[in-house]
Amino acid sequence: MPASIAFLSVEGMVRGPLQSVAIVGGGPAGSALAVYLGRAGKKVVLFDKGNRPPIIVGESLVPATVPFLAELGIEDEVRAYSTFKEGATFVFNSEESLSFKFEEVRKARTKYSYNVPRDKLDASIAAMAEGSGAQILRESAGLVREAGSDRVVLDSETLARTEGFLGGPPDLIVDASGRRRLLPNLLELPFEAGPRKDTALFAHCEGVGQVIEGNVHTDTLSHGWSWRIPLPGKMSVGFVVNSEHLKTLGVSPEEQFDGILAREPVIKAWGAEPRRLTDVLKYTNYQLVSKRGFGEGWVLLGDSLGFVDPVFSSGLLLAFDGAKSLSEAILAGGDSRAMQRYEQRARRHIRTWQKTIDHFYNGRLFTLFKVGQVVRHTPVGRMLDFHFRRHLPRVFTGEASASRYSPALVDFMCRYALMENDPDLLAIH
């Protein structure tokens, strides 16, 4: 993803201080923002029509999300209905895999995480938002672009339904509508798409084997890759595959999903007979980032600003971190400088994950891991191993993904430390 994204002028955009906020979209990002702002005494209306699909991408949480769950006051509740996750497993072929435990990561602050039923997680955060003082309206918000400008307001009917809770039109509208991208579409904002043109299919299944129970599993397939996310009583199974190849497997998402289950050699090594329990959900519009993040009276949050590939389960971390960062910008006055700081952090965080994901697809990331398994036993490797084991894994657990040094080290090593090994052998095709 190109790093040369121009930021807006700090003049004449979002003005503060901000006292009332309308949030459009009640997913984790929007609801978490409502919690933070409600606790700080801001007037918040959250529009959430609640028409989400029955299953949602984003069921595996990286360890860096756990402190956000605790801060929101829902970790105990989440623990009760989720699968405890101690690590991750990467399967390269039927004979070779790599696993690691979060507790083995040097300097890790959080040594565990959860695989979550998303409907329950979303409900937990929404309930906390309402308990924090936000007004929840179970309906869509009507947004209107003012003629001759990029200012956006609630239409008169929508504002009337708030029944004066905000004391008038909101000072700020937050688009947390996710992949619907309501404001970017309304304002025709330019965007940058990632290099991949894949399709993601996923469903809940039973009869799915695991290398290590509870771990999130990522499998390299002959075409694309798959995830296995253990949930209570079932397994979330997803396939990310080239869109053209999918057409050879059938017409409907179910035909394509079942075709992969039946034909993929790596799946036969799972040691069980997977059976699909649900319909198949299909996603095609990921790896997309808006070039503008805020304007006069509006700001983008979560997937509405940008979303990347699901391979490293970064989506919920980006949502929570973005909500926290945006709340700080709003509470700091909500002026353009504060919003620009928020946008810069959000873009840097997205860019970090995108670079790491690119190295996953081009094979450099796992080639580096395999080189490291050999080099760490050499004299030089033993000297440097403590440093790498502190910085590299903490990018994937999310604890260092918003920093500058650790992601830069991963990128540098993927580019220049493969010792003439061919990364294409581990590339995703």
- Of the listed ranges 57-61, 184-188, 267-271, 313-317, the least confidently predicted one is 267-271
pLDDT of residue 14: 47
Q: Is residue 14 in some structural domain?
A: no
Looking at the fold, whether 125 and 163 belong to one and the same domain comes out as yes
Q: Which amino acid is at 391?
A: H
Question: Does 203 share its domain with 174?
Answer: no
Residue 286: per-residue pLDDT? 65
383: pLDDT strictly greater than 80: no
For residue 2, pLDDT over 80 is answered with: no
* Residue closest to 24 by CA, chosen among 179, 173, 187: 173
Provide the pLDDT for residue 169: 94
Highest mean pLDDT pick, 269-283, 365-379, 414-428: 414-428
Quick check: 58 pLDDT over 60?
yes
pLDDT tens digits, residue range 83-96? 999 999 999 887 88
Q: Which pLDDT score is estimated for 151?
A: 92
pLDDT at 48 over 80: yes
Say if 224 falls within a structural domain: yes
Residues 258, 230 share a domain: yes
Same domain flag for 251 and 300: no
Given a cut of 90, is residue 269 above it in pLDDT?
Answer: no
**Do 326 and 422 lie in a common domain?**
no
Q: Are residues 277 and 205 in the same domain?
A: yes
Boundaries of domain holding 229: 198-283
pLDDT 10s digits, 357-371: 999 999 999 999 888
187 and 265 housed in the same domain: no
Residue 87, both tokens: 């690590």
Residue 394 included in any domain: yes
Rounded to whole angstroms, how far apart are CA atoms 200 and 57?
9
Average pLDDT over residues 186-203: 90
Decide: 157 and 133 in contact? Cβ < 8 Å: no
Same domain, 56 and 180: yes
Q: CA-CA distance, 385 to 284, in Å (whole number)? A: 39
Beta strands 225-231 and 234-242 are antiparallel
Whole-number average pLDDT of the chain: 91
CB-count exposure of residue 408 (10 Å: 0-12, 13-18, 19+):
middle
Whether residue 346 is contained in a domain is answered as yes
| CB-based contacts of 420, cutoff 8 Å, min separation 6 | none
CATH number at residue 251: 3.30.9.100
pLDDT of residue 403 exceeding 70: yes
Say yes or no: 215 and 296 in one domain.
Answer: no
| Token pair belonging to 114 | 């959860």
Report if residue 243 sits inside a domain. Answer: yes
Tell me the pTM. Answer: 0.92
Domain count, the chain: 3
Least confident range of 94-103, 105-114, 312-321: 94-103
Lowest mean per-residue pLDDT among 134-148, 257-271, 406-420: 257-271
Residue 295 lies in a domain: yes
Residue 24 in this model has a pLDDT that exceeds 80: yes
Percent of the chain with pLDDT over 90: 73
Question: What mean pLDDT do residues 257-278 have?
Answer: 88
Whether pLDDT at 11 is above 70: no
| pLDDT attached to residue 251 | 93
Inside any domain, residue 399: yes
pLDDT of residue 5 exceeding 50, the answer is: no
Asked if residue 42 is part of any domain, the answer here is yes
- Domain endpoint, select from 333, 355, 377: 355
Tell whether the model's pLDDT for residue 1 goes beyond 70.
no
Domain final position from 306, 327, 355: 355
Same domain, 292 and 418: no
Average pLDDT over residues 88-111: 89
Per-residue confidence band for 342, with pLDDT thresholds at 50, 70 and 90? very high
Whether residues 342 and 374 fall in one domain: no
* Reported confidence tier of residue 112, pLDDT bands at 50, 70, 90: very high
- The CATH number that applies at residue 51 is 3.50.50.60
218: Cβ–Cβ under 8 A, 6 or more apart, which residues?
Answer: 88, 89, 90, 91, 225, 226, 227, 311
Say what the pLDDT of residue 285 is. 59
Could you give the CA distance from residue 157 to residue 381 in angstroms, rounded to a whole number?
A: 65
Among 295, 325, 355, the domain-final residue is 355
**Confidence at residue 298, expressed as pLDDT on a 0 to 100 scale:** 96
The DSSP-derived string for 368-394 is HHHHHHHHTTSHHHHHHHHHHHHHHHH
255 and 123 together in one domain: no
Token pair, residue 422, equals 């061919």
**pLDDT tens profile 117-169:** 999 999 999 999 999 999 999 999 999 999 888 899 999 999 999 999 999 99
The structure tokens listed for 284 are 């095609």
